[in-house]
Amino acid sequence: MSRNLAPWSLAAVLLAGTALADVPNVAVDIAPVHALVARVMEGVGEPSLIVAPGASPHEYSLRPSEAKALQDAELVFWVGPELTPWLDDAIDTLADDAIIVALMESEGTTELPLRENALFEAHHHGDEQHAEDHEGHDHAEHENHDDHADHAEEHEGHDHAGHEHGDHDHGEQEHAGHDHGDHDPHVWLSPDNGSAWLNTIAAALSAADPDNAGAYFANAAAGREELADLRIEINSILEPLRGANFIVFHDAYQYFEAAFDFPASGAISVSDATDPSPARIAEIQERVADQKVTCIMSEPQFNPGIVASVMEGTAARTGVMDPLGSDLEPGAELYPQLLRNLANALAECL
pLDDT in tens, 245-293: 898 888 899 999 999 999 998 888 776 667 778 888 888 888 888 888 8
The DSSP output letter for 48 is E
> Which residues of 63-178 form beta strands (DSSP E)?
75-78, 99-102
Measure the CA dihedral 314/316/319/321, to 10°: -90
Tell me if 111 sits within 8 A of 86, measured CB to CB. Answer: no
As a whole number of angstroms, the distance between CA 253 and CA 336 comes to 15
pLDDT in tens, 188-207: 999 999 999 999 999 999 99
Mean pLDDT of the chain: 80
pLDDT confidence bin for 27, thresholds 50/70/90: very high
- Compute the average pLDDT of residues 173-190: 68
Q: What is the pTM of this model?
A: 0.77
In the predicted structure, residue 160 carries a pLDDT above the cut 60: no
Task: Please report the domains of the chain, with CATH numbers, ordered by start residue.
Answer: 10-114+138-234 (3.40.50.1980), 241-349 (3.40.50.1980)
Q: How far is CA 177 from CA 98, 159, 288, in A?
A: 22, 17, 40
